[in-house]
Amino acid sequence: MEDCEDCEEIFSQDGVLLKQAPATHITFVNTIGTLYISESLNSNKKRFIEWKPNDITVDSDIQDQEWAVVNTIQKRTRTLSGNYPPDYQNRIKCIKLNFEDIKSFRIANKSRQISFYDGKADCLCIFGFQHGSSDVLLSILKRMLRVSVSKRDKHLYIVYDANFPEFQQLDRSFAELNIQHDSRTLWSVFKNLKDHPYETTFEAFSKVTDYVYRSPEQRDLDDVDRENLNRSISEYENTTTHSQGDYEVVAKVPERKDFPRLRPLSLEQWKGHMNSEGKIEDVESVRNLIFRGGVTPCLRSEVWKFLLDYYPWSSTELERQKLLASKSDEYYNMKLQWKRMTKTQEDNFTDYRERKSLIEKDVNRTDRTLDFYAGDNNANLQTLNDILMTYIMYNFDLGYVQGMSDLLSPILMLLESEVDSFWCFVGFMNKVIRNFDIDQAGMKDQLSNLHTLLAFVNPQLANYLDTHDSGNMFFCFRWLLVWFKRELSLEDVMRFWEVLWTGYPCENFHLLVCVAILETEKPNIIQNNYGFTEILKHVNDLNGKLDMAVMLNKAEGIFYQIKESDHLTDNIRLILGLPLLQSQTSYGSHEQSPFEDSAELSNGTQPCCSVDNVRISPDEVAYERSINSSFL
């Protein structure tokens, strides 16, 4: 690092957390410090960004606090502007980014995070703002660097290279350009820019620069056009200023189409798809039919076994018979393991005892209003209990988690067979296993992804929630944990689940259902000026009032709106399991249709976090902090 005695500080901001850094500074990651913009006093007048750690390091507790990192925020330590703190000499700790190395930067996490990129897909640094936001920094960067908003990602700012000739010309006022003919074209670009800033910006700049570059002859702009151009430039600048808030101006998604629900899969249709050996011939079209209309009730107990991966879709009738026998043995083996536990064993096995008692308590409080589970000493309650107990022996690491009895109850009610219900329950659990993560990471991811989707489809509502302490989407927890089991009637929940189990039309379709409902409730929420508490109450009270068919219909419309919109980001593609733009060419592994393997598809959570060959948006990483800052 070069010496920097002769430089002038232009800006400083404290409480800045280093979230990602070059290898040389990796030990300072998660340290709080101060961010400076300085200008060298040498003739070269180079400008750069510097970050210097405070001496206090962030308590490592911050990781354990999970959703509640609220009280660990450091006290403000204001630096006197213009003066570096005494230990500023300790240069090795500083991170320095020359302006000329910054090719783009991205604002995330509601302006609480900024990432700098060097244009080679490498992230130079990520900074988080513990208090305040990146707004001031952003406005300074916009003044000092010539930037434009990316067409694909409205939080991404592209820095124009000051050494390129078109930049130098561009940097002179546009109005001074000597353009004779074709000024109409230029004007229309700006007009378009004004009307659709995010869509046009990037493209517009490249058009203008191209034009300027290729038009060296002297031309005159007529006065009217010059005036128009001036006005539109200043308006354009206003627009970008406003757009600092996350959702002020956005590209529009295409119009919503209507996707009517069809009749449920009928017995004739089902039989028609089976060959003489009882094998399903065209699995995709069967699944598509189920997605469109569900399954007719008398057929459910058979079809659910396929949907829940108990019966392989490719199996013949004979193979299924064999499977049944072996699965039955396996089940009773596991059941005997806990049934045979002696009193002493139990007394010496706290973990087991606790699980057993949890299950007992919950079984007594699951769907007791339905005839099937009503009354004391109901044999079905015992079966419900036994399946859950056996599930602990099947997956002891996971154990019993509240919500599981809700997922099992309709399955047992439908199949009325202990063994079949167990294995179908296993299949369902495999799809939603991350809902029950010890650290609840799966639920947090889903809430975060739900917010990302909502912000894309309905930025106004997302923005409202963000500014009303509700950006964490917490109030959707129950919906997501047990897939609307508590909000819908038994018949509706069965229909809803079988539709979702198909994995059509995309991964995480249930999140789009949430978006659809929230959109329907938007007028209620906004007109009543609900805050977090009222939203939670409003959402909890929707129980029993949701129309499942309408929800599915809307959600599908939303899916196609997203899919067909031209500013779709990779982040959204990852959530919905759509092929990524990059990965198709460079990685090849995503070329298969997203609907090929049912086991992977509808697992209820997101594979995105484990896809490490794709640089995902830092939104995810920063989610924890956002939940705290916007929470209560």
Partner 1 sequence: MRSNSKNTLLKVVILGDGGVGKSCLMNRFVSNQFDEHSFHTIGVEFLNKDIELDGETYTLQIWDTAGQERFKTLRTPFYRGSDICMLTYAVDDKSSFKNIEMWRNEFLNYADVKENGQFPFIVVGNKSDVPVEEREVSQLELETWCNENSITSCIETSAKSASNVQEAFKMAVQYWLRLESRADKIDPGVNDTVDLKKKHSDNRSSCCTGSSE
Helix (H) or strand (E) holding 55: strand 47-57
Q: Tell me whether residue 268 or residue 376 sits nearer to ligand GDP (CB atom).
A: 376
Q: Tell me whether residue 423 or residue 623 sits nearer to partner 1 (CB atom).
A: 623
Q: Which of 75, 143, 214, 365 binds ligand GDP (CB under 6 A)?
A: 365
Q: Are strands 113-117 and 31-40 parallel, antiparallel or unpaired?
A: unpaired
Please report whether residue 30 would count as binding ligand GDP according to CB under 6 A: no
Q: Tell me whether residue 401 or residue 614 sits nearer to partner 1 (CB atom).
A: 401
Q: Tell me whether residue 340 or residue 365 sits nearer to ligand GDP (CB atom).
A: 365
Helix (H) or strand (E) holding 185: helix 183-195
In angstroms, give the least distance from the CB of 358 to ligand GDP: 10
Report phi then psi at 114, rounded to 5: -135, 135
439 binds, among partner 1, ligand GDP, none (CB under 5 to 8 A by kind): partner 1
Estimate to the nearest angstrom the gap between the alpha carbon of 360 and the chain centroid: 36
In angstroms, give the least distance from the CB of 354 to ligand GDP: 15
Q: Tell me whether residue 315 or residue 405 sits nearer to ligand GDP (CB atom).
A: 405
In angstroms, give the least distance from the CB of 90 to partner 1: 35
User: Residue 45 and residue 99: Cα distance in Å, rounded?
Assistant: 11
Tokens standing for residue 86: 């005494």
71 binds, among ligand GDP, partner 1, none (CB under 5 to 8 A by kind): partner 1
Q: Tell me whether residue 161 or residue 354 sits nearer to ligand GDP (CB atom).
A: 354
Q: Tell me whether residue 358 or residue 539 sits nearer to ligand GDP (CB atom).
A: 358
User: Residue 627 and residue 50: Cα distance in Å, rounded?
Assistant: 28
CB atoms within 10 A of CB 277: 10
Q: What is the DSSP letter of 60?
A: T
**Buried b vs exposed e over 1-25: b needs ≥16 C-beta within 10 Å?**
eeebeebebebbbbbbbbbbbeeeb
Q: What is the DSSP letter of 403?
A: T
In angstroms, give the least distance from the CB of 365 to ligand GDP: 5
Please report how the helices 404-415 and 490-501 are oriented relative to each other, as an axis angle in degrees rounded to 10.
100
In angstroms, give the least distance from the CB of 534 to ligand GDP: 23
285 binds, among ligand GDP, partner 1, none (CB under 5 to 8 A by kind): none
Tokens standing for residue 537: 């109450």
The site for partner 1 (CB under 8 A) is made up of: 66-68, 70-71, 358, 361-362, 364-366, 368-369, 401-403, 405-406, 436, 438-440, 443, 467-469, 474, 477-478, 481-482, 486, 529-534, 536-537, 540, 627-628, 631-632
Residues 452, 609 contacting (CB under 8 angstroms):
no
For tokens 């203008």, the residue is 208
In angstroms, give the least distance from the CB of 368 to ligand GDP: 9
Q: Are strands 123-129 and 113-117 parallel, antiparallel or unpaired?
A: antiparallel
In angstroms, give the least distance from the CB of 364 to ligand GDP: 5
Q: Give how many residues touch ligand GDP by CB under 6 A.
A: 2
In angstroms, give the least distance from the CB of 380 to partner 1: 14
In angstroms, give the least distance from the CB of 531 to partner 1: 4
100 binds, among partner 1, ligand GDP, none (CB under 5 to 8 A by kind): none
Q: Tell me whether residue 402 or residue 417 sits nearer to ligand GDP (CB atom).
A: 402
522 binds, among partner 1, ligand GDP, none (CB under 5 to 8 A by kind): none
**Cα dihedral 30, 34, 38, 40 sign:** negative
Please report whether residue 169 would count as binding ligand GDP according to CB under 6 A: no
286 binds, among partner 1, ligand GDP, none (CB under 5 to 8 A by kind): none
Question: Which neighbouring-strand residues pair with 106?
Answer: 115, 156
Q: Tell me whether residue 481 or residue 506 sits nearer to partner 1 (CB atom).
A: 481
Estimate to the nearest angstrom the gap between the alpha carbon of 12 and the chain centroid: 32
User: Residue 303 and residue 460: Cα distance in Å, rounded?
Assistant: 41
User: Residue 247 and residue 463: Cα distance in Å, rounded?
Assistant: 6
- The string of DSSP codes covering 534-588 is HHHHHHHTTTT---HHHHHHHHHHHHHHHHH-TT--HHHHHHHTPPPHHHHHHT-
For tokens 């109005």, the residue is 175
For tokens 């151009």, the residue is 229
In angstroms, give the least distance from the CB of 535 to partner 1: 10
135 binds, among partner 1, ligand GDP, none (CB under 5 to 8 A by kind): none
Q: Tell me whether residue 97 or residue 413 sits nearer to partner 1 (CB atom).
A: 413
In angstroms, give the least distance from the CB of 248 to partner 1: 20
In angstroms, give the least distance from the CB of 380 to ligand GDP: 17
In angstroms, give the least distance from the CB of 222 to partner 1: 52
Q: Tell me whether residue 365 or residue 545 sits nearer to partner 1 (CB atom).
A: 365
Residues 532, 235 contacting (CB under 8 angstroms):
no
Please report whether residue 369 would count as binding ligand GDP according to CB under 6 A: no
- The string of DSSP codes covering 69-135 is TTTTPPPP-PPPTT---GGGG-GGG-EEEEGGG--EEEEETTTTEEEEE-SSS-EEEEEEESSS-SH
Q: Tell me whether residue 73 or residue 536 sits nearer to ligand GDP (CB atom).
A: 536
**Contacts of ligand GDP in 61-90 (CB under 6 A):** none
Q: Is 283 exposed, middle or buried (0-12, 13-18, 19+ CB in 10 A)?
A: middle
Please report whether residue 364 would count as binding ligand GDP according to CB under 6 A: yes
540 binds, among ligand GDP, partner 1, none (CB under 5 to 8 A by kind): partner 1
534 binds, among partner 1, ligand GDP, none (CB under 5 to 8 A by kind): partner 1
340 binds, among ligand GDP, partner 1, none (CB under 5 to 8 A by kind): none
Q: Tell me whether residue 190 or residue 474 sits nearer to partner 1 (CB atom).
A: 474
Tokens standing for residue 487: 């909000």
Give residues in contact with ligand GDP (CB under 6 A). Answer: 364-365
